[in-house]
């Protein structure tokens, strides 16, 4: 290890400092003293957690800023275990933003549930550190360790409402399936190590050179793929998703739907492109089967959900399907000698960014609605009736995010789908694109159904609403909405960044 290796992990170090500071400051926060109108002490209230939230926000902002400053200073560090290139920076910034928005939407939600504690933010920051390292990893060992860091933090976050049955169920389910997936993946990694003697991506590729078709290698690739497929909740490894998404606290769900999923996709691409380029056809077919299944399962099951959180869980499965279709095209396309076009890969990256913002936005609206009425509101469709009249802004924003998820032009979701399907069609797999767009036409039905309830129906029962929107929640919604529209209208800058990122991977 050289001293200069530290530079490559600066964004993560900043986050680590932030997480430590959060835990430290949290210990010194004093409960507030509550006084009655005469000024006499009558009880204690939980401490004001604004300070820890601020530390988390500053930490994320600083890590984004440093990551951006490091742009152009490409290097590998720790004996080639990790790289700092435009690819890693792209994802570090994206994860930073994901964490930032999640923090913003969390405070008032946790406040409303009287569980506003510093550990929450620390866990979130740890999860993002894991994600950052996953994107930068160029070695299976580092990847696995960071993957576990992210996962364990996630299990704890899922169980954050420990007195709630649903939250416990979610955490346990997530933990069991997650560990199972990790074990499968680790087995795949060990097989690769046994075959080649390396854990480094490029070293594996060099060592395999031409022998990728060997059964043990294909089997190992399959195992690693399955392990990651659990995390992106691709069918048939999606069973845990609806329960976990429904049971976890809503801001945590927002994070689950975006962060770990995007992280797993970044590894799908780094590990598979760099370590197994010769087996592109094999993993292309693997992704192809996975993507068709996932698109079908996600969309068809989402059709029959009456709980919006569950519906969004299935919709996130469906979106993983579109993304996998992009990966399948990369793999299959490079096999027939057209790898000079990494365009589907660029499309996947654009989609991931769009996906992050519109999902964070949609879940943020859900979190806001829950904050407004923590006891009664249970995300069931009937509670959305008349929302457009009750709170027009929340209704309008949720409509925007849902339309974006459905892929209506003018929104980020359309640009994402457009680029992914454009890449797929470019490589000649138009029939895959046809399946994809038909499925997204199906998806329009269940997204529009929510809009119908919000705007076209009158509420069956009046919900008693609490205080107006908090500043941080408004900021989270504004950020997500602005990004959703901006990417939808002027995607060129994003494309340039994506092209840089992909180029650094393929060079």
Partner 1 sequence: MLTILTFLPVAGALLMLIFMRGRPNAYKTAALATTIIVFALSVYLAATFKTGTADFQFQENHSWISSLGINYHLGIDGISLLLVLLTTLLSMVAILGTWNSIKDRGLAFFISLLVLETGMLGVFISMDLFLFYVFWEIQLIPMYFIIGIWGGPRRVYAAIKFFLYTFAGSVLMLVAILAIVWSYRNSGGPLTFDILTLQHAGFGGTIAALSFAAFFIAFAIKVPMFPVHTWLPDAHTEAPTAGSVILAGVLLKMGVYGMIRFCIGFFPAVAVKAMLPVIILSVIAVIYGAAMSLVQNDMKRLVAYSSVSHMGFVTLGLFTFTAQGVQGSILQMISHGILTGALFMIVGFFYDRTHTRLIKDYGGLARPMPVAAAFLSLFVIGSLGLPGLSGFVGEFLILVGTFQYMKVFAVLASVGIILGAAYLLWMYQRTMFQHANEKWLSLKDLSAREIITLVPLVGMAIWIGIYPHTFLNMIDVPAQNILHQVQPYLAQHGGSVLRFASALFGGN
Is 434 a binding residue for partner 1 by CB under 8 A? The answer is: yes
Burial class (CB within 10 angstroms; exposed 0-12, middle 13-18, buried 19+) of 474: middle
Interface with partner 1 by CB under 8 A: which range of 111-119, 284-292, 373-381, 454-462?
A: 454-462
506 binds partner 1 (CB under 8 A): no
- In 3D space, the residue among 193, 176, 185 whose CA is nearest the CA of residue 134 turns out to be 185
Interaction of residue 58 with partner 1, rule CB under 8 A? no
Stretch that binds partner 1, among 63-71, 143-151, 472-480, 493-501 (CB under 8 A): 493-501
Shorter beta-carbon distance to partner 1: residue 20 or 459: 459
Nearer to partner 1, 296 or 437 (CB): 437
Q: Whole-number minimum distance, CB 192 to partner 1, in Å?
A: 36
Per CB under 8 A, 306 contacts partner 1: no
**Could you give the string, one character per residue 388-407, with x where binding to partner 1 holds by CB under 8 A and - elsewhere?**
---------------x---x
Task: Answer yes or no whether residue 452 interacts with partner 1 by CB under 8 A.
Answer: yes
Question: What's the closest the beta carbon of residue 79 comes to partner 1, in angstroms?
Answer: 36
Q: Is 288 a residue that touches partner 1 (CB under 8 A)? A: no
**141/304 with CB nearer partner 1:** 304
Report if residue 437 touches partner 1, rule: CB under 8 A: yes
- Least distance in angstroms from the C-beta of 345 to partner 1: 14
Give the HSE-up count for residue 338: Cα atoms under 13 Å, Cβ half-sphere.
Answer: 17
Q: Is the peptide bond before 236 cis (omega within 30 degrees of 0)?
A: yes
Phi, psi of 31, rounded to the nearest 5 degrees:
-60, 145
CB 118 within 8 A of CB 29: yes
Q: Are 233 and 239 in contact (CB under 8 A)?
A: no
Choose the binding region for partner 1 from 26-34, 50-58, 112-120, 436-444 (rule: CB under 8 A): 436-444
Structure tokens at 252: 């945590």
Q: Site for partner 1 (CB under 8 A): which residue of 204, 288, 491, 497?
A: 491
Tell me the HSE value of 151 on the side-chain side, using a 13 A CA sphere. 25
Q: Report d(CA 107, CA 450) in Å as an integer.
A: 26
Of these, 408, 463, 469, 486, which contacts partner 1 (CB under 8 A)?
408
Q: Give the interface size with partner 1 as a residue count (CB under 8 A).
A: 31
DSSP state of 306: -
Closest to 136 (Cα-Cα) out of 276, 266, 320, 316: 266
Binding flag, residue 118, partner 1 (CB under 8 A): no
How far is Cα 416 from Cα 30, in angstroms, rounded to an integer? 47
Q: Give first-to-last CA distance, the chain, whole Å.
A: 25
Distances from the Cα of 475 to the Cαs of 35, 95, 401, in angstroms? 31, 18, 16
Could you say which of 187, 335, 495, 506 contacts partner 1 (CB under 8 A)?
495
Q: Does 492 bind partner 1 (CB under 8 A)?
A: yes
Q: Judged by CB, which is closer to partner 1: 207, or 339?
A: 339
Q: Which of 71, 193, 455, 506 binds partner 1 (CB under 8 A)?
A: 455
The phi, psi pair for 332, rounded to 5°, reads: -65, -40
- Looking at beta carbons only, is 281 or 338 nearer to partner 1? 338
In 10 A of CB 431, how many CB atoms?
10
Q: What is the dihedral of CA 398, 290, 85, 256, to 10 degrees?
A: 40
| Binder of partner 1 out of 43, 194, 209, 409 (CB under 8 A) | 409
Beta-carbon count within 10 A of 441 CB: 12
Which residues of this protein are in contact with partner 1, per CB under 8 A? Answer: 403, 407-410, 414, 418, 421-422, 425-426, 430, 433-434, 437-438, 440-441, 444-445, 448-449, 452, 455-457, 491-492, 495-496, 499
């Amino acid at each position: 290890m050289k001293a200069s290796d530290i530079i490559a992990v600066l964004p993560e170090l900043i986050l680590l400092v932030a997480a430590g500071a959060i835990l430290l400051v949290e210990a010194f926060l004093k409960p507030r003293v509550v006084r009655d109108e005469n000024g006499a002490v009558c009880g204690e209230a939980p401490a004001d957690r604004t300070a820890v939230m601020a530390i988390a926000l500053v930490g994320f902002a600083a890590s984004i800023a440093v990551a951006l400053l490091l742009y152009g200073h490409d290097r590998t560090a720790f004996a080639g275990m990790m790289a700092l290139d435009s690819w890693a920076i792209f994802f570090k910034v994206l994860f930073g933003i994901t964490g930032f928005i999640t923090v913003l939407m969390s405070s008032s939600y946790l406040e409303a549930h009287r569980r506003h504690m510093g550990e929450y933010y620390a866990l979130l920051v740890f999860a993002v550190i894991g994600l950052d390292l996953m994107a930068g990893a160029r070695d299976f060992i580092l990847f696995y360790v960071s993957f576990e860091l992210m996962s364990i933090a996630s299990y704890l976050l899922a169980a954050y409402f420990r007195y709630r049955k649903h939250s416990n169920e979610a955490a346990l389910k997530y933990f069991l399936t997650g560990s199972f997936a990790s074990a499968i993946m680790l087995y795949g990694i060990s097989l690769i190590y046994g075959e080649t003697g390396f854990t480094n991506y490029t070293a594996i590729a060099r060592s395999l050179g031409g022998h990728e078709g060997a059964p043990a290698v294909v089997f190992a690739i399959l195992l690693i793929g399955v392990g990651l497929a659990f995390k992106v909740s691709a069918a048939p490894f999606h069973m845990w998703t609806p329960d976990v998404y429904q049971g976890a606290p809503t801001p945590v769900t927002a994070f689950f739907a975006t962060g770990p999923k995007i992280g797993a996709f970044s590894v799908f691409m780094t590990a598979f492109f760099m370590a197994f380029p010769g087996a592109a056809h094999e993993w292309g077919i693997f992704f192809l089967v996975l993507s068709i299944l996932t698109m079908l399962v996600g969309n068809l099951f989402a059709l029959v959900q009456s709980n919006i959180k569950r519906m969004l869980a299935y919709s996130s499965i469906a979106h993983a399907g579109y993304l996998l279709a992009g990966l399948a095209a990369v793999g299959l396309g490079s096999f027939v000698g057209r790898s000079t076009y990494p365009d589907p890969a660029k499309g996947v990256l654009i989609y991931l960014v769009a996906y992050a913002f519109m999902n964070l936005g949609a879940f943020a609206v859900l979190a806001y609605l829950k904050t407004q009425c923590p006891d009664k509101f249970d995300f069931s469709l009937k509670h959305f009736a008349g929302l457009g009249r009750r709170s027009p802004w929340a209704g309008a924003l949720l409509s925007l995010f849902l339309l974006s998820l459905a892929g209506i032009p003018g929104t980020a979701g359309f640009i994402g789908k457009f680029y992914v399907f454009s890449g797929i069609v470019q490589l000649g797999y138009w029939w895959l694109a046809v399946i994809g767009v038909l499925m997204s036409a199906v998806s329009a039905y269940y997204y529009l159904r929510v809009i119908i309830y919000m705007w076209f129906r009158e509420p069956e029962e009046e919900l008693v609403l609490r205080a107006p929107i908090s500043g941080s929640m408004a900021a989270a919604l504004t950020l997500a909405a602005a990004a959703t529209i901006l990417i939808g209208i002027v995607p060129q800058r994003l494309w340039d960044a994506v092209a840089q990122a992909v180029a650094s991977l393929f060079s």
